[in-house]
Structure 1
Amino acid sequence: MASFIFKNSLLLVLMHSLLVVIRTTVSTSKLSRRTLCHDHERSALLSFKQSLSLNKSSSGAFSAYPKTESWKARGESSDCCSWHGVECNNQTGFVTGLYLRSSLLYGTLPSNSTIFILVHLQNLDLGDNDFRNSSIPPAIYNLSSLSGLDLSLSAFSGQIPVELSKLSKLTYLDLTGNYLSGSIPASVGNLTQLTHLSFSRNLFNEQGTLYWLGKLTKLTFLDLEKTNLYGKTLQSLSNRTQLTFLNLRANKLSGEIPLWLMNMTQLTFLALNSNELEGQLSSSFSQLKNLEVLDLSENSFVGTIEAGIFLSLKKLYSLTLSYNKISVITNQHVNFTLPNLQIFQMISCNLSEIPYFLKFQNNLQVLYLDDNNIHGKIPYWIWNASDSLQEIRLSSNFLTGMEHNPIALPSTSIKSIDISDNLLHGNLPVPPRSTLRYSVFRNRFTGDIPSAICNCTSLEILDLSDNRMSGPIPQCLANSFEALVALILQKNNFSGTIPEPYPEKCTLNVFDLSQNQLMGRVPKSLSNCKMLQIFDLSDNQLQQTFPDWLGTLPRLQVLILHSNKFHGVMGSPRNSFEFPMLRIIDLSQNNLTGDLPVKYIQTWSAMRIFHPDKELQYIEVQVTYQNKNKGDFIVWYVHYTSSIIIRNKGVKRYYGRILNVFTSIDLSSNKFTGHIPESFGSLEALESLDLSNNELTGPIPPSIGSLKQLESLDLSHNKLSGLIPQQLGEKLNFLAFFNVSYNLLSGPIPRGQQFETFDKDSYMMNSGLCGLPLSKTCGSPQSPPADDGDEDEDESDADGGGFIWIFILAGVGSGLVVGIVMGNIFVDRYFWLIAGVVQNLRLTLKNRRRPKRQNIRG
């Protein structure tokens, strides 16, 4: 009996367990079927995907990737709830979230886009894509369940549609960084559930008081950067004491900072920089005890402030007061610490000394005090005031030295040091081994480069330019720095040869040893530096033939070798792919001979195509470093731009930064011979061309007229002949400088918009030229009759012979022999000068003797 009961009990348990499994399976099956996305929403998403293309340039985020590539119509991936960027409700299966930020999307977004069929959407993020200046579609009103909408950085334009303000459930709205225009509609005030609102960095018209902001009582985050606000600081915000984030930078707000702003005691972020605010900074800031970031830079604040007004801001992480007329005083007997202060910036203020309270900021990472009136010596404590110090900038002051004259700077954490443009003298101190950037240019340092600097193997940028240093460049600079990105030693007195060899993994982007006394040859091992963009060895005493291996550097954009002793024929490139990115080349003031390098000109492909829509940027190198803060890694970026000196528009010009679209060729002051090749006309992006002071002959090629971007053309001091092509006057609409003086040119000077601006100095010593701005007129040229050509030729010969005999007979009064000798010398030395006059005299006599023809009507 017991056995029977046990068996039946066991059977009941098994049946119950089976029932549970069946119920669970059925339930799971139903849930699985329920969470599969609905067919019409899948079709809507696929249609939305097909309406757009993918473009790598559409998204700027480092983490960008094409999320819609996972969207498939068939197979295991056909469930849209499993697609990247798609979120569904687990119960209903409807799409409730679409997160396509940084998805490389490219195309327009019309009102009939199928995305607006997804009426259950609660969150829509299309940020960091490119919708090609689409307007925000009014059909967005169909998404009435939206609580979060992010269309930032996605190239939307036009006005904000009124329909947007009907999305009454919105709590998050971000339209940052688009091309929106017009006024911000007051109806935005109807979105009373908003806690996060950003309209920053658009193209709005001037905005008034924005009174409607007072209706947004739940707002905690407000970003109105660069929205064209003007007038007094927004009174409509006076009761928004719950705000934690307020960004009003880059507007036209004026007047003093209102006192009611100090009632926003919940603020953690406050940016009022780049406005027109004025007055003195009061101690009221001490009330904002939760502030982590405070930026008041680029206004018109005046006076002196006590550092102690920030004493109560214990959470302050970043304090920026730059570009005002304020200074800070510190009572050296009262020491205080802001325990979280990591960034302190007072660039271009009225500081006369380094604020003493900085000595006690134990967590300071970034210190910018450049462009002030700080005198005296750099205090020794500044290098180790903080164990976390990452970057220090003291450039453009009047600092004369360093306390204790250290041989090496003592910091153990610093990554970037900029003490350039001061009055520092003595021997160069060695930077800490942790340093990535060491910039000391434009000072008065003397002596050799210390060999201990080669122990700083992390260095990426070393700029010692414009000092008074001398001696040889240490050999270790060539082979100890596998991380070195920029080596700038220009404008010193370094001598000897350029060190070598350079490693196979050379990382150099900028190599500038110009304006020194270096001799010898250019090391061929520099061909290992495939990342080189700027190469400048000008104003030295280098002596060799043209280093043709430079053509193998695939990224070279700037090549400057002027004022050396390069000699011989340039020859030809080994293939048509050399110098693919070259934009600036200056080989002037050398001893190069032979014809102009036609084959090289044909390889300079970066100069052949003008890109009017190319984004303007400076050729620069970037150093990055990171530091851990509050559990996160913060990345710092140091951008470094190199300077060059080249001849443009007839004078030497200093370029502190080099635009990536500027193009220039300078082959002047060499011994080039032969004709100017027609192939110059293919360089449509060229802005400056200088072939002066050579021995070029023949005509100016009409193809030069194809260089529509040309601003400077110097062909002076050659032996060019013939006419100045009329195409130059008709097509060169940007030409600002033109010089063809000291040649053998003849005929009329072209007329044209730009040619009306050039004075007679542009044409001097071309006796055959005529027309304005010269006083010599061209007369009325006539076509000679076909039947009297021989007669004219004889007359011309007679005229020419008579002209030369003038010089021989000139010596009769003092003796026939002397006259003949003087005549011969004059003719030999100056015949090229009078040839144009002879030709003009022939034409004049010819026109005078030729009878006028009459028109006879039959």
Structure 2
Amino acid sequence: MKNRLLFFIIMIFVTCCSVTTQQALNATFTFSGMRYLPHISSALLQLKQEFVFKKPNYTDYYYPTPYDETLSYPKMKFWTEGKDCCDLFSLRQLHRLNLAYNNFTLSNIPSSFAQLSRLTHLNLSYSFFSGQVPSEIALLSNLMSLDLSYDIHYDYDHEMSISLLYSPTITFAQNMTKLRELHLNNVNFSSLLPESMANLSSLTSLSLTDCNLYGEFLQNIFHLPKIQVIDMSFNRNLTGFLPNFHFGSKLNSLRLHSTSFYGRIPYSIGNLKFISVLDLSYCNFSRTIPSSLKNISQLSSLDLSFNNFQLPPALLIMPSLQYLMLGGNHFTGPLTIPSPVKNLSHLSWLELSFNNFDSQLPPTLFIIPSLQSLSLSSNKFIGPLTIPSSIKNLSHLSRLELSSNNFDGQLPQALFIMPSLQYLMLEDNHFNGPLTIPNVSLSSQLTYLNLDGNKLIGKIPRSIFEM
């Protein structure tokens, strides 16, 4: 009952304090610099009359330890006429506070949060705060979860983005030794990571995307004993390399997208038995992709696109993969698809664009049962496009990109009978001869077809207007 009452009071607080600017200007009472609406205050005072405030029996079973009435005696008892009962920072007993996904109209984060010394969870994310993160937050030494993540404000006139929440340092990390989750996405730090962050031994999740961090990433963070999630994406001036990973690591998600990490992926990455998401795209990794990745039985999403890898990977044998992105590297030679394709039973997204594959396209590629999107654009695939008749059984394939290659010969009619295909990109090839499209049923899903830059001849078939 006590917890339900506290929840109800907090809901009233959020209602009475989330007022528009005009409403605030029309208010007549002030308290500690905050304005509140008199009619809402009156309603809360009437609500107070519905409760009987009775001090607890300290010898009761529910109070086995000495009772502190200053902390637990009902706060409504002290609500009086002319006093702001919506003052958040008088709720000193709060352990969890979540104000995420509100609109605080670019106001500053109050330094008074430091008064809520019992807080273990503070979430102010995506609520349109601005200005500097108050250093007083460092005083919340009991915090286990802190989320100040922020939506970037876009200035469409100047086509640039501006981060409105910033902090010159992250020194508060050295005081919050109990932190398990630290999420500060899009908070502009413009600084190095403090070494104290590598000492957060309880940390399970670290997300600092697009924070304008620079310098070298702290290697010890990879080896924190409980770390499960690391996301440092979009810090383009943040450098570093991957360490040798220990067998007992609990890491299950590692995202370094659009950073300046470099070097090779160590063979020991196969020790990350729990990792399901690995995103190292748009970095400076090079050499070969280690075959030890096939030892990770839970890996479902692998993005290594736009790096400097040289040799084609033997990765398609990983049965757990759902998303495989390897575009924008320097792969050459033939594209090899393992047999039987049942080993690829979960693969739904395959991205191999912007490489230098120069063989004929293996027909077995079109019988991967769960495939939804296949992108092979901007390679050097050659010869006629051979499509097996079983392609009509690809009930999930909705996007097929084969543009900017060296395919020639006639367009296979089988391309137009796939039941779920919506986007078909075949431009900038050498397809020739007449355009022949079979009569298709009215249930065709094709909404985008690009044949630009080929050598097709003859009349446009009437069947194209029935698609």
Same fold (TM over 0.5): yes
Partner of 1:358: 173
What amino acid does structure 2 have at the position aligned with 1:588?
Answer: S
Out of 260, 277, 284, the position equivalent to 1:468 is 284
In structure 2, C-alpha distance between the alignment counterparts of 1:224 and 1:529, rounded to whole Å: 50
- Flag the 1:706–1:338 CA change in 2: closer, same or farther, 3 A: farther
Out of 103, 112, 121, the position equivalent to 1:317 is 121
Residues 646-688 of structure 1 show CA distances to partners (whole Å, capped at 9, x for unaligned) of xxxxxxxxxxxxxxxxx31111222212222233865743232
In structure 2, C-alpha distance between the alignment counterparts of 1:458 and 1:587, rounded to whole Å: 34
CA-CA distance at 1:396 after TM superposition: 0.7
Partner of 1:521: 334
CA-CA distance at 1:397 after TM superposition: 1.9
In structure 1, C-alpha distance between the alignment counterparts of 2:289 and 2:196, rounded to whole Å: 31
In structure 2, C-alpha distance between the alignment counterparts of 1:430 and 1:317, rounded to whole Å: 33
- Flag the 1:237–1:220 CA change in 2: closer, same or farther, 3 A: same
Does 1:382 find its partner at 2:197? yes
Which aligned pairs between 1:51-62 and structure 2 lie closer than 5 A?
none
Aligned partners of 2:242 and 2:266 also within 8 Å: yes
Does 1:347 find its partner at 2:147? no
In structure 1, C-alpha distance between the alignment counterparts of 2:141 and 2:436, rounded to whole Å: 68
CA-CA distance at 1:430 after TM superposition: 5.8
Which aligned pairs between 1:683-722 and structure 2 lie closer than 5 A?
684-707=444-467
Which aligned pairs between 1:510-549 and structure 2 lie closer than 5 A?
510-525=323-338, 527=341, 528-549=343-364
Partner of 2:227: 414
Out of 429, 450, 455, the position equivalent to 1:670 is 429
- Flag the 1:219–1:406 CA change in 2: closer, same or farther, 3 A: closer
- The higher radius of gyration belongs to 1
What amino acid does structure 2 have at the position aligned with 1:237?
Answer: I
In structure 1, C-alpha distance between the alignment counterparts of 2:358 and 2:324, rounded to whole Å: 18
- Flag the 1:606–1:224 CA change in 2: closer, same or farther, 3 A: farther
Partner of 1:484: 299
CA-CA distance at 1:572 after TM superposition: 3.4
The alignment's TM-score, normalised by the length of structure 1, stands at 0.42
Out of 71, 83, 98, the position equivalent to 1:294 is 98
Aligned partners of 1:500 and 1:523 also within 8 Å: no
In structure 2, C-alpha distance between the alignment counterparts of 1:565 and 1:680, rounded to whole Å: 31
In structure 1, C-alpha distance between the alignment counterparts of 2:462 and 2:316, rounded to whole Å: 46
Aligned partners of 1:299 and 1:324 also within 8 Å: yes
- Flag the 1:402–1:536 CA change in 2: closer, same or farther, 3 A: same
What amino acid does structure 2 have at the position aligned with 1:551?
Answer: F
CA-CA distance at 1:562 after TM superposition: 1.2
Aligned partners of 2:170 and 2:193 also within 8 Å: no
Aligned partners of 2:138 and 2:173 also within 8 Å: no
Partner of 1:509: 322
Partner of 2:264: 448
Aligned partners of 1:305 and 1:327 also within 8 Å: no
Aligned partners of 2:114 and 2:139 also within 8 Å: no
Partner of 1:585: 400
Aligned partners of 1:330 and 1:355 also within 8 Å: no
Residues 483-541 of structure 1 show CA distances to partners (whole Å, capped at 9, x for unaligned) of 111111111111012124624xx111111100110123333238312111110111111
Partner of 1:558: 373
Q: Which has the higher contact order (CA 8 A, sep 6+)?
A: 2
In structure 2, C-alpha distance between the alignment counterparts of 1:443 and 1:284, rounded to whole Å: 43
In structure 2, C-alpha distance between the alignment counterparts of 1:511 and 1:309, rounded to whole Å: 44
What amino acid does structure 1 have at the position aligned with 2:288?
Answer: P
- Flag the 1:704–1:398 CA change in 2: closer, same or farther, 3 A: same
CA-CA distance at 1:438 after TM superposition: 0.6
SS of the residue corresponding to residue 270 of structure 2 reads: helix
Residues 248-270 of structure 1 show CA distances to partners (whole Å, capped at 9, x for unaligned) of xxxxxxxxxxxxxxxx947xxxx
CA-CA distance at 1:463 after TM superposition: 0.8
- Flag the 1:335–1:327 CA change in 2: closer, same or farther, 3 A: closer
Which aligned pairs between 1:20-35 and structure 2 lie closer than 5 A?
none
In structure 2, C-alpha distance between the alignment counterparts of 1:675 and 1:223, rounded to whole Å: 71
- Flag the 1:373–1:335 CA change in 2: closer, same or farther, 3 A: closer
In structure 2, C-alpha distance between the alignment counterparts of 1:311 and 1:222, rounded to whole Å: 21
Does 1:327 find its partner at 2:142? no
What amino acid does structure 2 have at the position aligned with 1:345?
Answer: L
SS of the residue corresponding to residue 551 of structure 1 reads: helix
CA-CA distance at 1:586 after TM superposition: 0.8
CA-CA distance at 1:589 after TM superposition: 1.7
Aligned partners of 1:462 and 1:486 also within 8 Å: yes
Gaps of 5+ in 1: 1-194, 199-217, 244-263, 267-282, 608-662, 708-858
Partner of 2:438: 679
In structure 1, C-alpha distance between the alignment counterparts of 2:366 and 2:75, rounded to whole Å: 62
Aligned partners of 2:334 and 2:360 also within 8 Å: no
SS of the residue corresponding to residue 387 of structure 2 reads: coil
- Flag the 1:679–1:234 CA change in 2: closer, same or farther, 3 A: farther
- Flag the 1:286–1:240 CA change in 2: closer, same or farther, 3 A: same
Residues 324-360 of structure 1 show CA distances to partners (whole Å, capped at 9, x for unaligned) of 11322326xx963442542432425422334433333
- Flag the 1:407–1:366 CA change in 2: closer, same or farther, 3 A: closer
What amino acid does structure 2 have at the position aligned with 1:347?
Answer: Y
CA-CA distance at 1:417 after TM superposition: 1.1
The alignment's TM-score, normalised by the length of structure 2, stands at 0.74
SS of the residue corresponding to residue 393 of structure 2 reads: coil
Partner of 2:390: 575
CA-CA distance at 1:593 after TM superposition: 2.2
What amino acid does structure 2 have at the position aligned with 1:568?
Answer: G
SS of the residue corresponding to residue 357 of structure 1 reads: helix
What amino acid does structure 2 have at the position aligned with 1:564?
Answer: N
Partner of 1:251: none
In structure 2, C-alpha distance between the alignment counterparts of 1:399 and 1:517, rounded to whole Å: 29
Residues 365-394 of structure 1 show CA distances to partners (whole Å, capped at 9, x for unaligned) of 32211112212222232244251x222111
CA-CA distance at 1:436 after TM superposition: 1.1
What amino acid does structure 1 have at the position aligned with 2:332?
Answer: M
- Flag the 1:509–1:354 CA change in 2: closer, same or farther, 3 A: farther
SS of the residue corresponding to residue 139 of structure 2 reads: coil
**RMSD between aligned residues:** 3.5
Which aligned pairs between 1:188-203 and structure 2 lie closer than 5 A?
none
Aligned partners of 1:458 and 1:481 also within 8 Å: yes
What amino acid does structure 2 have at the position aligned with 1:314?
Answer: R
Partner of 1:158: none
Partner of 1:457: 273
In structure 2, C-alpha distance between the alignment counterparts of 1:413 and 1:591, rounded to whole Å: 50
In structure 1, C-alpha distance between the alignment counterparts of 2:12 and 2:392, rounded to whole Å: 53
In structure 2, C-alpha distance between the alignment counterparts of 1:680 and 1:693, rounded to whole Å: 24
- How many residues align structurally? 393
What amino acid does structure 2 have at the position aligned with 1:289?
Answer: R
Aligned partners of 1:668 and 1:694 also within 8 Å: yes
CA-CA distance at 1:316 after TM superposition: 4.5
